[in-house]
Structure 1
Amino acid sequence: MFAMFFIYFYFIFLQFLNCTVAYRTMCIRRLDYFSFLTTIFIAIAKQKKTCRFYASPFEY
């Protein structure tokens, strides 16, 4: 189960790295497909104060 979440989060992280100014809209469209995973990640990160740094990009 942890491996599945790690693969999903790693895919989301690669999508953030692939974001450029030209392909920003396409990248956001891909990230919206994984929005339910990001919300789970925010919930986990807010419960663990050590992971607060990783939740900061999603809070804006």
Structure 2
Amino acid sequence: MKLLKSTYDSVFTGVCGGIAEAFGWDSNLIRIAFVLFTFFGVGSPILIYLILALVMPKEF
């Protein structure tokens, strides 16, 4: 399992699409979870997303 940013399932940077591909989930579920976590203040999802956007390599 490699965690890579998605190039074809990308809305903003491809982080949610890449996470979904790595775990075999639907990318829309990851996006909805991200929005819900942000809305309800669970952890620091925006900071985590920004860090992943900088650290995760892009798939070729």
- TM interval, shorter chain, is 0.3 to 0.5
Q: What TM-score, normalized by structure 2, do the two folds share?
A: 0.36
If asked which structure has higher relative contact order (CA below 8 Å, sep 6+), I would say 2
Larger C-alpha radius of gyration, 1 or 2?
Answer: 1
Q: What TM-score, normalized by structure 1, do the two folds share?
A: 0.36
